[in-house]
Structure 1
Amino acid sequence: MRITGYRALNTVQEWGRAVGDANGVYADGLTEVPMVLVTTDEGITGVGMGPHVELDAVFAAIDGEDPRGVTALYDRMLRQMFKAGHAGTVFGTIGAFDTALWDIKAKAAGEPLWRLLGGRDRVVPAYASGLDIDLDDEDLIRTYQQYAEHGLRTAKLKGGLDVERDRHRLSLVRDVLTEAGGGARPGLMLDANECWSRKQAVRHVAELERTLDLIWVEEPVRRWDAEGLAAVGRGVRAAVASGENLSGLEQFRPLLAAGALDIVQTASVWGITHFLRVAALAHGHDLPVSPIGTNPVGLLHAAASVPNHLASELQVLQPPVGVALDLRIEDGAFVLGDSPGLGVVLDEELIGACELQPATSSFDGPGVRPERAGHRLLAAAG
């Protein structure tokens, strides 16, 4: 089998509400979903989700190769792009091709990827994550009631700008999940998306912890600040989670060496091979790993195969326009299907006919760091 080509495709995710974090908001509830389709001479096509940056340059590393040699081809793509830093969106492009190759490999074997990777159980525990910072109380309650109807009893809220507003919103969601669980204690997390300084993070979280029990605080300071993340971890009861915006093991090593992380995260956009390597590195430090992403289907399959998976982020309950997934949400978990590969089916005609266009680009809104982030004496009003 040989790789013969690729094509890029774009669709959109309809959230039906505003989504965002401390850095900004997509007010129209539409976000772009770029995809890469890799074709072969045996008629098998693989699907990966990720950026369309330097596509031709990255593809040159795998053109004409046997797609089943996925991990070797992953390293070949990294070598192809090492002068470009093979980080950021370039790393995301590599991840998209990598995910498509894993899809092909599993399809060629006639197995779902979770089985091909050695997974025993198709059930992948999940937690709810609404990208909810712009929701009023009524919409916040309604959103997490929908998650609760699917059995989720753990939730991660966006926050970091107003400690009392964060307390209020976390309490509302706690009550929703407690009621849905028949009084059982729910799990709560807070994601600050790098908006604090070290001292701000400790003050904010410690204040919340006077009345709330947080499982983890996510990205309390800059993602690369090993000393700062470790300092926050020493100053609060909650675990410290980060890693979704780190690309390459070289970016994780100093954080793990400094004891900066309690929960190791990696994003779906960076690909399956990256996740597997990060999971192994975390396991070597006796740390759990947790995938992040709007459409993390590739990492869900991979998560089923690693010994230290904790829980995967569930952001949205429906797939993007023109995308069908062989999975369901049940009893607080993703339940993967038996379709060969990732179980992703595309309706390219429907995608091509879709006229929805996000009003906010992916490099605006939450993608732009506010000027005063990490430099405020007082938290901004909600």
Structure 2
Amino acid sequence: MRITGYRSLATVHDWGRPVGDVNGVVAGEVTEVPVLILETDEGLTGVGLGSHPDAHRVFPALEGQDPRAVTSLYDRMLSYVFKSGHGGQVFGAVGALDMALWDLKAKIAGEPLWRTLGAADRFVPGYASGLEYALGDDELVEFYRGWAARGFSGAKVKGGLDVERDVRRLAAVRDVFRANTPRPALMYDVNESWGAHQAVRLARSVEDRVDLTWIEEPVRRWDVAGHRAVASGIRAAVATGENLTGLEHYRALFDADAVGVVQTGSVWGITHFLRVSTLAYGHGLPVSPVGYNANPLAHAAAAVPNHLATEVQDLAFPVGLRVDQEIADGGIVLGDTPGLGIEVDEEAIAAHAASGTWSAPGGPHVRPADAGLRLAPARDRTTKEHFGGGNRQREGIAG
């Protein structure tokens, strides 16, 4: 079997609610989901998810190759782009192609990827995460009640702008999950919105009033000294890594004892997750992949010995994707469909006219100009005032 080509599709995910974080919100409730189809000369195809506009730069490393040599092909892709670097959207293209290669490998073997990777159990422990920054307090509680009903015992709360609001929301979410456990896990994600000069002070202010399991990305992703200061200055663990795009980015954090929970981005692919997990395992650290459409990293998470919990962001799947998994019992129950268990209905995608984007001017993938440069917490203002449109989210706000 040889790799002959690839195709790119674009579908959407309808969240049924605004989604985002302290950096901005997609108010339209619909976001794009890029899909890559890797083709072979025998008609079998592999599916990869995630943005891949630079796939044309990376694909020549795969053309004509046997798709079963996945890890060798991963290194071949990295070598192919080493002069220009493998960060950003180039690494995203590598990740989508790698995901499709693993999907093909398991399909060739006629088994789900979790079995191909050596997992003994189809269940993947998870925690709930709704990208819920724009929800009002009552909406937040109602949203997480649905996750508690599915057996989850912990959740992530987005914050970072107004710590008083964050404390109130964390406490409300804690009370929801007390239906399942006396001490729910609370993950607090500020999405790099703090500066190193304020991170320890603000984090302590929050954890003095609520028991945090971890605080996520308290400072910029590459700030080893800042992460170390937070890790040594608070009780909760520090989690980071979803935006790092190579083992070289993790080593400095590990060597400085600056991270307690190691994260990876789902769109960076299966091999990236496996290698980061091995490096973390050698340092005695747990791993926790961040969520993404159809939870593709769950198969790999089931197979590593140091998996802690996988972020699960929604109970539904993108238009035109049939996914063989169930969200139940506080995690993901993977099915037996060969490969990733993702079937692409191209007719359904073509018939659906909706569009969406993460890259709106209001964020959340656009960093506000004053992020990390706010002197004091903001007044408690409504979400609509935070994200009423354009740059209004930054007018007169500090946090």
Distance 1:85 1:3 in 2: 24
User: Cα deviations across residues 317-347 of structure 1 (Å, max 9, x unaligned)?
Assistant: 1011111110001110101011110000111
Is this contact kept in 1: 2:267–2:292, CA < 8 A? Answer: no
The alignment-based identity, stated in percent, is: 59
Distance 1:188 1:256 in 2: 23
User: Partner amino acid for 1:343?
Assistant: G
**In structure 1, which of residues 172, 187, 190 is the aligned counterpart of residue 185 of structure 2?**
187
Q: Which runs of 4+ in 1 moved over 3 A?
A: none
User: Partner amino acid for 1:138?
Assistant: D
Structure 1 residue 186 displacement after superposition? 1.0
Distance 2:261 2:6 in 1: 35
- Unaligned 5+ runs, structure 2: 382-399
Structure 1 residue 32 displacement after superposition? 1.0
Matches within 5 A, 1:214-253: 214-253=212-251
Is this contact kept in 1: 2:221–2:243, CA < 8 A? Answer: yes
Structure 1 residue 57 displacement after superposition? 1.5
Aligned residue pairs total: 380
Partner of 2:384: none
Distance 2:194 2:267 in 1: 25
**2:31 corresponds to 1:25:** no
DSSP 3-state at the match of 1:365:
coil
Structure 1 residue 363 displacement after superposition? 7.1
DSSP 3-state at the match of 2:83:
helix
**2:21 corresponds to 1:3:** no
Partner of 1:157: 157
Q: TM-score, normalised by structure 2?
A: 0.93
Matches within 5 A, 1:344-363: 344-358=342-356, 361=359
DSSP 3-state at the match of 1:189:
strand
DSSP 3-state at the match of 1:228:
helix
- Give the direction of change, closer, same or farther, for the CA distance of 1:296–1:281 in structure 2 (3 Å limit): farther
Distance 1:275 1:264 in 2: 10
Is this contact kept in 1: 2:294–2:317, CA < 8 A? Answer: no
Structure 1 residue 64 displacement after superposition? 0.8
**2:306 corresponds to 1:270:** no
Partner of 2:100: 100
Distance 2:144 2:132 in 1: 10
Partner of 2:321: 323
Distance 1:138 1:348 in 2: 38
**Cα-Cα RMSD:** 1.2
Distance 1:379 1:353 in 2: 47
Distance 2:91 2:111 in 1: 27
- Give the direction of change, closer, same or farther, for the CA distance of 1:359–1:6 in structure 2 (3 Å limit): closer
Structure 1 residue 298 displacement after superposition? 2.6
Is this contact kept in 1: 2:187–2:213, CA < 8 A? Answer: yes
Q: TM-score, normalised by structure 1?
A: 0.97
User: Partner amino acid for 1:280?
Assistant: T
Is this contact kept in 1: 2:194–2:372, CA < 8 A? Answer: yes
Partner of 1:197: 195
Partner of 1:297: 295
User: Partner amino acid for 1:357?
Assistant: S
DSSP 3-state at the match of 1:212:
coil
Is this contact kept in 2: 1:268–1:296, CA < 8 A? Answer: no
User: Cα deviations across residues 102-125 of structure 1 (Å, max 9, x unaligned)?
Assistant: 000000001110001010111000
Is this contact kept in 2: 1:102–1:341, CA < 8 A? Answer: yes
- Give the direction of change, closer, same or farther, for the CA distance of 1:104–1:366 in structure 2 (3 Å limit): same
- Give the direction of change, closer, same or farther, for the CA distance of 1:217–1:360 in structure 2 (3 Å limit): closer
